[in-house]
């Protein structure tokens, strides 16, 4: 299924935690809420003055937070399709990444101003400003119980923060120091998955500070599928968590894939890209790549309990464009 | 999940050290109580309002109003799943609140000002209350229209030879405080004449009595295990008492013999204690002091004073210890703010730079045999990739972690309660209530406004959302 409607590149797409909606945000300054089943457009949320980089659903699926190049974070009441009156102001530069805490009471945001901010969602008040990085913060995430937050930056560092005290507890760095473009905690909170601009996705044991897996789907792809597409653009790669094998590559986007999310049932993947479209992928029981598909099933199925994660799924694409996945958006703006 | 990364020396600390936060909502907080999970703190004000604070953000998460305005909220008690809150006030009422939507589930008029009301540990529709100059009651709120009140005895159980002059001694003898044991099988009460009574919940009869002193008992607290009792009496002595296992089936009421384990007092200054609390594991006892700004903390092993917490320059009222963390909250008697003490967590610099390790002293570095050997980079990379052959489990959550998240309660995921996050609370945060009246001009929010707000609350049936809706344009001055 392909959802069209955005006028410019779509920077992020997210399933709501209850699985009913898909939210997408775009460089055309709008957020669109789609019905996850039918694909019908439910709401178009307008209010930001510049392109939107990131969105995050509150755990109860009632609210949506969005971060934009206008330096604001806005909260939206999804049911009513309205913007909350007070935006979260404080960042000095583009807001580039966002995540709700599992309880929905806090937001963490990363910005081009190199800081990570922790917000009290209820009062739209800045709680903590973490002097996190020396380059734009490209990704943030909360761990499952909300006690830790992770941030990553183009300076090549991944930092783990204690949300209670605001202290940095750990720093992860790969020796190549490649810019990190996104960071996610695993569903059980023991690992972080980070995508870097050296065409790798790495799984870190953050307690020991050790990289346990390196996924290199991009290169595989180059050889196998290069014929169909000019460069690496427009493909989504699925890896097996343990064996590091590429399970499947999905192609269909005619440009860079910017955002990806996995549905509640683990059978659905939604992706978006600079080609202004959103695509929904459903897993077919008789997929062509069946041989590789089988072993992944138990892992994918068990994800139900843990909500949405993309631990074995990372987007490919902009690796060689020199900017982070979402980075294409602010650059388009300027 | 932050435990594996936390400095072990910090985890070893069990006593808070310094003042870390001030919470403030409209009104003057007089009583506070942590939720069982420890993520929320309920506070009742002298004007009858109740605020729920989120300890992660130190901001107000919900305001509920329903008690008669300007009547002090006396006590608060959480249900086991932290969804319901029982409040009692000197306006004779006890109210059971549903924090899902802030509604009043039950309102019950007990016919007398309430000293303290406590929910049954497992049944949210049962509570015990101590009333002013009246018998304590066990209230059954199951039937909404007709709550049943079962009076409990005031008078202690006496030996037959003491019966003669009992009538005189029993005049004006009332219960001041009542508390459930953690299983709810018994109620422990304290009286105006220094008696401690243990009353069975099922038979509603006193099974054991003990006279501690001749002055009124002010507060009784039980530890989470139910085996330790903490009693504050107006004779300036705090007592800890070990309790037998009251739930054991072969316990004979006659065989109970309680003895005071420790007596904590300040012999020099003759300080009297406003409010007392056990620490989370009952290893420590703390107390706020009358006419003094400090919180005293004793440890129970030897009964010695281990810490005096200093903080605000005002007398402190109610004190509470967090159910799992070394965190203490207390209310200021004058300002009505809530003060929070925690341990200090210094930044470890090695956490910022992964290649560095913090050492106590200089160490001679011994080079490994092949440490600086040069290998071709490609070969190294390939080798490293080949070594990544372990099985990783990114899904399974440790039992231990699950326990921590559920706080050991026998709850499963379905009935776990999470209080909804209200985004339209208005400016009800922890700072002073200051209103912007123009560019750069601020004034303190007038008390008249505050009262009218409470009146609104009364009319609107305590709907926090409605009454706070018009506060949206207030600004807080940044400090």
Tell whether the model's pLDDT for residue A289 goes beyond 70: no
Tell whether the model's pLDDT for residue A204 goes beyond 90: no
Cα radius of gyration (chain A): 18
CB contact under 8 A, B354 and A209: yes
Tell whether the model's pLDDT for residue B451 goes beyond 50: no
CB contact under 8 A, B354 and A173: yes
Q: Give the least confident one: A194-198, A258-262, B51-55, B396-400.
A: B396-400
pLDDT at A31: 92
Count of residues in chain A:
334
Q: Which of B405 and B13 is assigned the larger pLDDT?
A: B13
Cα(A189)–Cα(A274) distance, integer angstroms = 31
What is the rounded average pLDDT of the residues B56-85?
88
CA distances (Å), origin B71, targets A275, B131, B273, B317, B463: 64, 15, 24, 17, 19
Count of residues in chain B:
479
Residues 6+ apart with CB under 8 A from B128: B117, B118, B120, B136, B137, B138, B139, B152, B178, B179, B180, B187
What is the rounded average pLDDT of the residues B252-267?
82
Output DSSP code: residue A88: B
CB contact under 8 A, B56 and A105: yes
pLDDT digits (tens, 9 = 90+) for B324-339: 888 999 998 888 889 9
pLDDT at B321: 93
Hey, what CATH topology would domain A2-282 get? Methylamine Dehydrogenase; Chain H (2.130.10)
Cα(B229)–Cα(B238) distance, integer angstroms = 10
Residue A307 touches partner B, C-beta closer than 8 Å = no
Tell whether the model's pLDDT for residue B455 goes beyond 70: no
Cα(A254)–Cα(B271) distance, integer angstroms = 78
Dihedral angle, C-alpha B356, B359, B363, B369, nearest 10 °? -40
- Structure token digits, residue B98: 């549903």
Tell whether the model's pLDDT for residue A249 goes beyond 90: no
Contact assessment for residue A191 and residue A204, using Cβ atoms and an 8 Å cutoff: yes
pLDDT at A242: 66
Helices (H) and strands (E) in chain A, counts: 3, 27
Return the exposure string of B119-132: e unless at least 16 CB atoms fall within 10 Å of the residue's CB, then b: bbbeebbbbbbbbe
Closest-CA residue to B430 (of B76, B14, B149, B57): B57
Tell whether the model's pLDDT for residue B310 goes beyond 70: yes
Instruction: Nearest chain A residue to B385 by CA: give it.
Output: A214
Phi, psi dihedrals of residue B60, rounded to the nearest 5°? -80, 130
Q: Which residues of B touch A207 (CB under 8 A)?
A: 4-5
Cα(A232)–Cα(A226) distance, integer angstroms = 7
- In the three-class reduction of DSSP (H, G, I as helix; E, B as strand; rest coil), residue B160 is classed as helix
> How far away is chain B from the Cα of A308, in angstroms, using its nearest Cα?
12
pLDDT digits (tens, 9 = 90+) for B132-147: 888 889 988 888 888 8
Tokens 């909360």 sit at which residue? A142
Mean pLDDT of chain B: 79
CA distances (Å), origin B460, targets B91, B139, B160, B311, B455: 19, 27, 56, 38, 9
CB contact under 8 A, A206 and B5: yes
Interface of A with B in 97-116 (CB under 8 A): 101, 103-106
Q: Which of B3, B5, B16, B25 best tests the A interface by mutation, with the highest count of A CBs <10 A?
A: B5
pLDDT at B361: 83
Q: Which of A93 and B3 is assigned the larger pLDDT?
A: A93
Q: Which of A37 and B169 is assigned the larger pLDDT?
A: A37
CA distances (Å), origin B258, targets B115, B230, B250: 25, 13, 17
pLDDT band at A309 (very low <50, low <70, confident <90, very high): very low
The domains located in chain B, with CATH, are 15-161+169-342 (2.130.10.10), 431-478 (no CATH)
ipTM of predicted assembly, 2 dp: 0.76
Tell whether the model's pLDDT for residue A223 goes beyond 70: no
Residue B468 touches partner A, C-beta closer than 8 Å = no
> What percentage of chain A has pLDDT greater than the value 70?
74
pLDDT band at A315 (very low <50, low <70, confident <90, very high): very low
> How far away is chain B from the Cα of A43, in angstroms, using its nearest Cα?
20
Residue B402 touches partner A, C-beta closer than 8 Å = no
> What percentage of chain B has pLDDT greater than the value 90?
16
Q: Which helix (H) or strand (E) holds A297?
A: helix A290-301
What is the rounded average pLDDT of the residues A2-25?
87
Tell whether the model's pLDDT for residue A135 goes beyond 50: yes
CA distances (Å), origin B16, targets B4, B222, B305: 21, 21, 14
Residue A156 touches partner B, C-beta closer than 8 Å = no
């Amino acid at each position: 299924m392909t959802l069209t409607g955005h006028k410019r590149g779509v920077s992020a797409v997210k399933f709501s935690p209850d699985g009913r909606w898909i939210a997408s945000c775009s460089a055309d300054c709008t957020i669109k809420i789609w019905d996850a089943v039918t694909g019908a457009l439910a709401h178009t949320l307008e209010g930001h003055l510049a392109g939107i980089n990131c969105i995050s659903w509150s755990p109860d699926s009632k609210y949506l937070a969005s971060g934009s190049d206008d330096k604001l974070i806005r909260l939206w009441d999804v049911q009513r399709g309205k913007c909350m009156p007070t935006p979260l102001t404080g960042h000095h530069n583009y807001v580039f990444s966002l995540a709700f805490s599992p309880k929905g009471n806090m937001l963490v945001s990363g910005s081009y101003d190199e800081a990570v901010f922790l917000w009290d969602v209820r009062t739209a008040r800045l709680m903590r400003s973490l002097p996190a990085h020396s380059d734009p913060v490209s990704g943030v995430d909360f761990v499952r119980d909300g006690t830790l937050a992770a941030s990553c930056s183009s300076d090549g560092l991944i930092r783990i923060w204690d949300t209670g005290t605001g202290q940095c507890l750990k720093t992860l760095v790969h020796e190549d120091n490649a810019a990190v473009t996104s960071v996610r905690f695993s569903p059980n909170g023991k690992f972080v998955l980070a995508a870097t601009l050296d065409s790798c996705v790495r799984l870190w044991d953050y307690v020991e500070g050790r990289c346990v897996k390196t996924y290199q789907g991009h290169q595989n792809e180059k050889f196998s599928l290069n014929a169909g597409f000019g460069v690496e653009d427009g493909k989504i790669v699925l890896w097996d968590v343990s064996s590091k094998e590429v399970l499947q590559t999905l192609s269909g986007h005619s440009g860079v894939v910017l955002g990806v999310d996995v549905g509640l049932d683990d059978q659905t993947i939604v992706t978006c890209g600079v080609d202004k479209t959103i695509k929904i992928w459903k897993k077919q029981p008789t997929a062509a790549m069946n041989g590789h598909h089988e072993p992944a099933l138990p892992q994918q199925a068990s994800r139900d309990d843990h909500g949405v994660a993309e631990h074995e799924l990372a987007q490919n694409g902009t690796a060689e464009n020199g900017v982070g996945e979402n980075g294409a958006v602010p650059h388009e703006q300027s | 999940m932050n435990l594996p990364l936390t400095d072990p020396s910090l985890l070893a600390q069990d006593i808070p050290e310094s003042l870390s936060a001030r919470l403030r909502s409209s009104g003057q907080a007089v009583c506070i109580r942590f939720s069982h999970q420890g993520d929320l703190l309920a506070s009742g004000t002298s004007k009858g309002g109740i605020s729920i604070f989120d300890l992660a953000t130190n901001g107000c998460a919900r305001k509920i109003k329903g008690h008669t305005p300007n009547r002090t909220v006396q006590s608060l008690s959480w249900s086991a799943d932290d969804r319901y809150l029982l409040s009692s006030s000197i306006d004779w009422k006890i109210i059971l609140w549903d924090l899902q939507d802030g509604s009043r589930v039950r309102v019950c008029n007990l016919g007398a000002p309430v000293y303290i009301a406590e929910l049954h540990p497992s049944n949210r529709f049962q509570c015990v209350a101590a009333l002013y100059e009246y018998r304590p009651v066990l209230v059954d709120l199951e039937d909404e229209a007709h709550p049943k009140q079962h009076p409990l005895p005031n008078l202690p159980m006496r030996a037959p030879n003491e019966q003669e002059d009992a009538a005189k001694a029993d005049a004006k003898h009332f219960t001041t405080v009542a508390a459930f044991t953690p299983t709810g099988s018994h109620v422990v009460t304290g009286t105006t004449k220094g008696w401690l009574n243990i009353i069975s919940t099922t038979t509603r009869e006193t099974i054991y009595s003990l006279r501690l002193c001749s002055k009124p008992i002010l507060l009784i607290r039980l530890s989470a295990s139910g085996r330790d009792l903490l009693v504050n009496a107006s004779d300036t002595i705090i007592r800890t008492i070990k309790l037998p296992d009251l739930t054991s089936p072969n316990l004979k009421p006659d065989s109970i013999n309680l003895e005071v384990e420790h007596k904590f007092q300040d012999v020099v200054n003759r300080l009297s204690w406003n409010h007392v609390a056990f620490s989370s594991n009952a290893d420590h006892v703390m107390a706020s002091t009358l006419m003094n700004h400090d919180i005293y903390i004793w440890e129970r092993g030897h009964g010695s004073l281990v810490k005096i917490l200093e903080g605000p320059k005002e007398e402190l009222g109610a004190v509470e210890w967090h159910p799992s963390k070394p965190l203490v909250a207390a209310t200021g008697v004058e300002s009505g703010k809530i003060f929070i003490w925690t341990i200090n967590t210094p930044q470890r610099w090695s956490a910022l730079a992964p290649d560095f390790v913090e050492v106590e002293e200089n160490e001679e570095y011994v080079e490994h045999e092949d440490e600086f050997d040069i290998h071709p980079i490609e070969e190294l990379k390939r080798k490293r990739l080949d070594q990544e052959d372990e099985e990783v489990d990114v899904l399974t959550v440790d039992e231990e972690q699950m326990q921590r998240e559920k706080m050991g309660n026998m709850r499963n995921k379905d009935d776990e309660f999470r209080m909804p996050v209200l985004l339209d609370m208005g400016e009800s945060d922890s700072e002073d209530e200051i209103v912007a009246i123009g560019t750069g001009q601020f004034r303190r929010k007038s008390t008249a406004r505050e009262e009218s707000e409470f009146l609104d609350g009364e009319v609107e049936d305590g709907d926090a959302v409605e009454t706070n809706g018009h506060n949206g344009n207030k600004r807080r001055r940044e400090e």
